[in-house]
Amino acid sequence: MRSRYSPVLKRSLRAALQDGKARWTRRYGTVAETPSLTTPPSSVLDEALNATSLRNTWTKDEIRQIYETPLMKLAYAAGTVHRKFHNPAAIQMCTLMNIKTGGCSEDCSYCAQSSRYNTGLKATKMVTVDSVLEAARIAKDNGSTRFCMGAAWRDMRGRKTNLKNIKEMVNGVRGMGMEVCVTLGMIDLEQAKELKEAGLTAYNHNVDTSREHYPSVITTRTYDERLQTIQNVREAGLNVCTGGILGLGEKPSDRVGLIHTVATLPSHPESFPVNTLVPIKGTPMGDNTPLPFDATLRTIATARMVMPRTIIRLAAGRTTLSEEQQMLCFMAGANAVFTGEKMLTTACNGWDEDKEMFERWGLRAMESFEVEALREAVSSSTPLDGPVVEKSSQSVL
Ligand code: SF4
């Protein structure tokens, strides 16, 4: 039978196989060699891939170039960076408890807990210290190693008694050997220091979206006020957890802007939660179109490229992802999930479901403070010269 390949093409392919270089043969006999596949032309993506130090000088245009890389190439590069600096088999299981539900004075357009929208959510008082400790114990018994507490407040002004109780909660959960994070709205430096003193590991305060898109989402506090709280948290010596919500009607450039904001902070946040909007009826964003999955994956992969040592948290909206989509996120750099009965006011994947999923894919739950070395490295901007989490490297995928 006659071959469907021309003799010229066959000769060229044979030559390429022999000398190990990629060649491209034009149909009419002109041979043009492309550079070797192992030395592609330099690009921002390559620079991020081969970085030797943490960078917080990223320009928006550089991040845009990474974000716009063909998706499988981007995901592969992000997976490569991830494997250099994290154990890709280890996923942190966190549980988030709402310690004060609803009645919030802010106007965040996506939130069920704002008192401005009629979502049918009943506002409650702050829960007791004992109920928090009981919930943390259950979370720990089920494999969570980080316990987060959220209160629907604008800020902590005039909340001395609440702060005292929260410090007790923090102290108690920390005493169980778990990492502890709280999200209580805006806080000043003194409050951040008190929380640190009580044993708090990290404070969450999301910037939500890009500076440009932010006024279309929230009008009752400014982007700079958000950044001020993050600065207070950092100054108090706490780990910073700050990320965003995708699907707020933003453009791709806003997802780039969100990553740019956090990747150019004086030091990268230790934790970057990636939420996708769970539309709540009654809120201004209740009818938003669901975000296509590729935007979530692209955001995670880009964040991994520019913040190689940060924990990237697959947060709200994970219930809408298939198991295979979650795996793509883990391959491209996500390494934490929220697990439990509920995530604030929205549904959450359960512990058993997650443990079974981990088992199927050869993943495991991270231990408490497993990434402490990594976090220290983030703030000290030590060279990126190898895996930080040595102890678990035997189970690297
Ligand atoms: S996101 Fe937080 S600050 Fe905004 S309305 Fe909801 S509870 Fe309040």
Q: Please name the residues in contact with 347: beta carbons below 8 A apart, sequence gap of 6 or more.
A: 278, 319
Structure confidence at residue 120 (pLDDT) = 87
Same domain, 34 and 180: no
Binding-site sequence positions for [4Fe-4S] cluster: 104, 108, 111
Same domain, 179 and 309: yes
Burial 284-305 (b: 16+ CB within 10 A, else e): bbeebeebeeebbbbbbbbbbb
Q: What would the pLDDT profile of 266-296 be if each residue is shown by its tens digit?
A: 999 999 999 999 999 999 999 999 999 999 9
Q: Does the beta carbon of 111 lie inside 6 Å of ligand 1?
A: yes
- Is residue 42 over pLDDT 90? no
With a cut of 50, say whether residue 396 has pLDDT above it. no
* Pairing of β 31-33 and β 23-25: antiparallel
Distance from residue 265's CA to the centre of ligand 1 (Å): 23
Instruction: Please give the structure tokens belonging to residue 382.
Output: 């030590």
- Phi, psi angles (nearest 5°) of residue 124: -130, 165
Q: What is the pLDDT of residues 370-394, one digit of tens each?
A: 877 655 654 455 545 444 443 333 3
**pLDDT at residue 196, rounded to an integer:** 98
Same domain (yes/no): 62, 109: no
Q: Is residue 53 located within the same domain as residue 108?
A: no
Do residue 165 and residue 287 come from a single domain?
yes
CATH number, domain with residue 361: 3.20.20.70
Closest CA to 221 of 142, 338, 106, 94: 106
Q: What is the pLDDT of residue 231?
A: 98
| Predicted local confidence at residue 7, as pLDDT | 58
In this structure, is residue 389 part of a structural domain? Answer: no
Q: How many domains is the chain partitioned into structurally?
A: 2
Active site residue 108: yes
* Same-domain status, 86 and 62: no
Average pLDDT value for the chain: 86
Domain that holds residue 47: 7-66
Asked if 289 and 279 touch (Cβ cutoff 8 Å), the reply is no
Residue 71 lies in a domain: no
Share of the chain above pLDDT 70, in %: 82
Least confident of 1-10, 134-143, 200-209, 290-299: 1-10
**Distance from residue 206's CA to the centre of ligand 1 (Å):** 11
Number of Cβ within a 10 Å radius of residue 36: 11
Q: Indicate if 267 and 191 belong to the same structural domain.
A: yes
Average pLDDT over residues 223-234: 98
Burial (Cβ within 10 Å: 0-12, 13-18, ≥19) of residue 226: buried
Residue 129 vs residue 35, higher pLDDT: 129
Residue that is written with structure tokens 């209740």 in the block = 286
CA 75 to chain centre: 15
User: Using an 8 Å Cβ cutoff, are 328 and 297 in contact?
Assistant: yes
Question: Is pLDDT of 168 > 60?
Answer: yes
Q: d(Cα 156, Cα 164) in Å, to the nearest integer?
A: 11
**Half-sphere exposure for 188 (CA within 13 Å, toward CB):** 6
Q: How far is the CA of 185 from the centre of ligand 1 (A)?
A: 8
Helix axes 323-331, 71-85, angle to 10 degrees: 60
**Which atom of ligand 1 sits closest to the CA of residue 151?**
7
The answer to whether position 271 is within a domain reads: yes
Assess if residue 45 is contained within a domain.
yes
Q: Which residue has the higher pLDDT, 123 or 31?
A: 123
CA angle 280, 227, 173 (to 5 degrees): 70
Q: Ligand 1, residues 99, 115, 126, 154: which to mutate, most atoms within 8 A of Cβ?
A: 154
Is position 391 within any domain? Answer: no
23 with 165, same domain: the answer is no
> Quick one: how far is CA 117 from the chain centroid?
28
CA–CA separation, 179 vs 192, rounded Å? Answer: 16
Ligand 1 atom closest to the CA of 183, numbered from 1:
2
Q: Is 112 in the pocket of ligand 1 (CB under 6 A)?
A: no
CA distance 320 to 279: 12
Amino acid of residue 364: R
Which pLDDT score is estimated for 21?
Answer: 42
Residues 58 and 94 occupy one common structural domain:
no
116 phi/psi in degrees, rounded to 5: -80, -15
pLDDT band at residue 16 using 50, 70 and 90 as cut-offs: very low
* 158 and 132 fall within a common domain: yes
Q: What percent of the chain has pLDDT over 90?
A: 75
94 is catalytic: no
CA dist., res. 385 & res. 365, Å (int): 25
Give the DSSP letter string of 247-306: -SS--HHHHHHHHHHHHTSSS--SEEEEEE----TTSTTTTPPPPPHHHHHHHHHHHHHH
- For residue 394, being part of any structural domain is answered with no
User: Which residue type occupies 307?
Assistant: M
Choice between 39 and 55, residue whose per-residue pLDDT is larger: 55
Asked if residue 161 and residue 56 are part of one domain, the reply reads no
| Domain identity same for 26 and 136 | no
Q: Classify residue 388: in a domain, yes or no.
A: no
Asked whether residue 2 is assigned to any structural domain, the reply reads no
